[in-house]
Structure 1
Amino acid sequence: MKSAPIGIMDSGIGGFSVVLEVRKLFPFCPIVYFADPLHFPYGEKRKEELAPIVQPVVDFLVHGIKVGLLVVACGTVSSLLLPELRKRYTLPILGIVEPACREALAVVQEGAIGVLATRATIRVGAFRQALTRFRPGVEVVEEAWPEFIEAVEGGVFDTPSWRLWARERLEALHARGVRGVIMGCTHFALISTFFEELARGLFPIVNPAVSCAQEVGKFLPLGQPQKPGPLTVFVRGDREGFLRVIERFCFPLEMDVVSFENACRWVAHAWG
């Protein structure tokens, strides 16, 4: 991959879960993150609607930024578009589905595996297909939580009412025989400690950001630079609103946040 940056994309703040985990493991790698609040949420869109939205983002990261590796930090895009993206581009492209499924199967030896995700991800059944491919006969229980995804994106998820709402649904999953849950949406992965606390005494939580970040290491060259790599965030849509969400989460990262409308000017200035 040489010294090219790692590209990470998602519709909103959820993909920062992958940014944080990649930063922990590989602090010297430059990262370019693309957020698309203009089209949030991806999880309510069908494949034919999502493809023309995602294509310009990937083109920009691959041809404009020239990333050496692309991480699709979105369960919906990973589920619906990953095979087509891999056919279209020659660089390595990682999704969150298969790494998370392998981790879940290592953790859950018996009983059902739960998947919490968007409606589009559940509809296409990507997690179910991967899990049953890796372990034929495994029971999979899938649930879409679109309203909670919006609460996370807005940074208003950690309230007594939302905590009660989520705990009751986790308890219902346990009653159905679920013995481990995959955060099938990176918005959930972003607040994995919140879920781990609520699920205590029920089952383990599988964070796809962790397993995905570990996969990134397979594509990095030996001998990393000796200074921290920059983190640049491109935002298509409401940049100021996205900045407010970032501030609510208090990410321990220095970053340059650029409006996508100013992307060409920024790239020319930074690398021209």
Structure 2
Amino acid sequence: MKSSNPIALFDSGVGGLTVTKEVMNEFPDEDVIHFGDTLHLPYGPRPQKEVRGFAFEIIDYLIEILNVKLIIIACNTATAAALKIAQDKFEVPIIGPVKPGAKAAIKKTKNQKIGVIATKGTISSKAYHKEIKLLSKEVEIFAKACPEFVTLVERGKVTGLEVEEVVEGYLASLREVGVDTLLLGCTHFPYLSQVIQKVIGPDVNLIYPGREMAIQAREILSALDDLNKQPKIGSRTFYVSDLDNISYDFVKVGREFLGLDELQFKELPIFDKPNLTQGIK
């Protein structure tokens, strides 16, 4: 494997761009590929076996066709369903958000009450429960599945009265039990962080593991001596599995979030769809 090979991230949709932003900042001289499985979003309500199958197809394509040197699963549901098996199955390093997220939450909490919000799939898997309890037996965990958050983000709705009403409906119970730390267990949720903070309270720590994942990626590549050794400005390429299932409103939000002049997606035929050359801006 060449040290100049790209780093890849994938998510169930385009919400994982929150992690891609951190990776782009951490690796300005590395080529970075983002893939969003918009054909099958959302992953949250799907059975773990089905999600695992999607993840394995994506990982196999990224390794065999795009020759990536490290893969970040920028999706908590896919991480819960596939990470441990994928790490044994594939030779390329693969990481996910659960472990770094749990560590960061435990580090921040003072009253030992941690809230975890995520998709139904992630909550039902108890991935964060298990990881947090491995690190601390004293912490109380209050979990809440928030499936509508993903829908809002994919529609490009991240602020406004509608968003505040939905967030209030989900988070009121966590506010009442007094959590002092709230772990955003879905890569879509940081887009809603402004509203989430307003609803849950200004003194509650919001934890999102994107930054920790980027640092972990650097540590792994450094240990393997696989950091890019060719001085250059890294390329950024954005793919999806279904161009027709992207909200133009979200593209606008994503472009602003990433600080890019334009955000262009291309369709990648991982799931035997035709390869379209046009993108959307």
Instruction: Identify whether the pair has TM-score above 0.5, normalized to the shorter chain.
Output: yes
AA aligned opposite 1:252? G
AA aligned opposite 2:211? V
Q: Which moved more, 1:205-214 or 1:158-167?
A: 158-167
Aligned-pair CA distance for 1:193:
4.2
Give the distance between the partners of 1:20 and 1:68, measured in 2 at CA: 18
Give the distance between the partners of 1:265 and 1:119, measured in 2 at CA: 31
Give the distance between the partners of 1:149 and 1:244, measured in 2 at CA: 14
Aligned to 1:269: none
Give the distance between the partners of 1:100 and 1:41, measured in 2 at CA: 21
Give the distance between the partners of 2:269 and 2:64, measured in 1 at CA: 16
Question: Which one has the bigger helix percentage?
Answer: 1
- How many residues align? The count is 266
Counting aligned pairs with the same residue, the percent is: 27
Spell out the pairing of 1:206-245 with structure 2 (5 A cutoff): 206-221=207-222, 225-239=230-244, 241=246, 245=250
- 1:205 is paired with a residue whose SS is strand
CA distance 1:145–1:5, shift in 2 (3 Å): same
Which of 248, 252, 256 is equivalent to 1:247? Answer: 252
Aligned-pair CA distance for 1:32:
0.8
Cα deviation, 1:132-190, whole Å, max 9, x if unaligned, reads 00001311111001012111111123121321332454343122131100110000034
Aligned to 1:117: 118
Q: TM-score, normalised by structure 1?
A: 0.89
Aligned to 1:257: 265
Cα deviation, 1:198-234, whole Å, max 9, x if unaligned, reads 4443411001212212211212346754332111112
Spell out the pairing of 1:11-26 with structure 2 (5 A cutoff): 11-26=12-27
- 1:70 is paired with a residue whose SS is strand
Give the distance between the partners of 1:51 and 1:240, measured in 2 at CA: 21
AA aligned opposite 1:138? V
Q: TM-score, normalised by structure 2?
A: 0.86
Cα deviation, 1:110-149, whole Å, max 9, x if unaligned, reads 2311111000111110000000000013111110010121
Does the CA contact (< 8 Å) of 2:158 and 2:191 recur in 1? Answer: no
- 1:13 is paired with a residue whose SS is coil
Aligned to 1:162: 163
CA distance 1:153–1:162, shift in 2 (3 Å): same
AA aligned opposite 2:236? L
| Runs of at least 5 residues in structure 2 that lack an aligned partner in the other structure | 276-281
Give the distance between the partners of 2:24 and 2:128, measured in 1 at CA: 26
- 2:214 is paired with a residue whose SS is helix
Aligned-pair CA distance for 1:5:
0.7
1:56 and 2:57 are equivalent in the alignment: yes
AA aligned opposite 2:94? I
Give the distance between the partners of 1:90 and 1:234, measured in 2 at CA: 23
Does the CA contact (< 8 Å) of 2:72 and 2:96 recur in 1? Answer: yes
Aligned to 1:189: 190
| Runs of at least 5 residues in structure 1 that lack an aligned partner in the other structure | 267-272
1:107 and 2:108 are equivalent in the alignment: yes
Q: Which moved more, 1:95-104 or 1:248-257?
A: 248-257
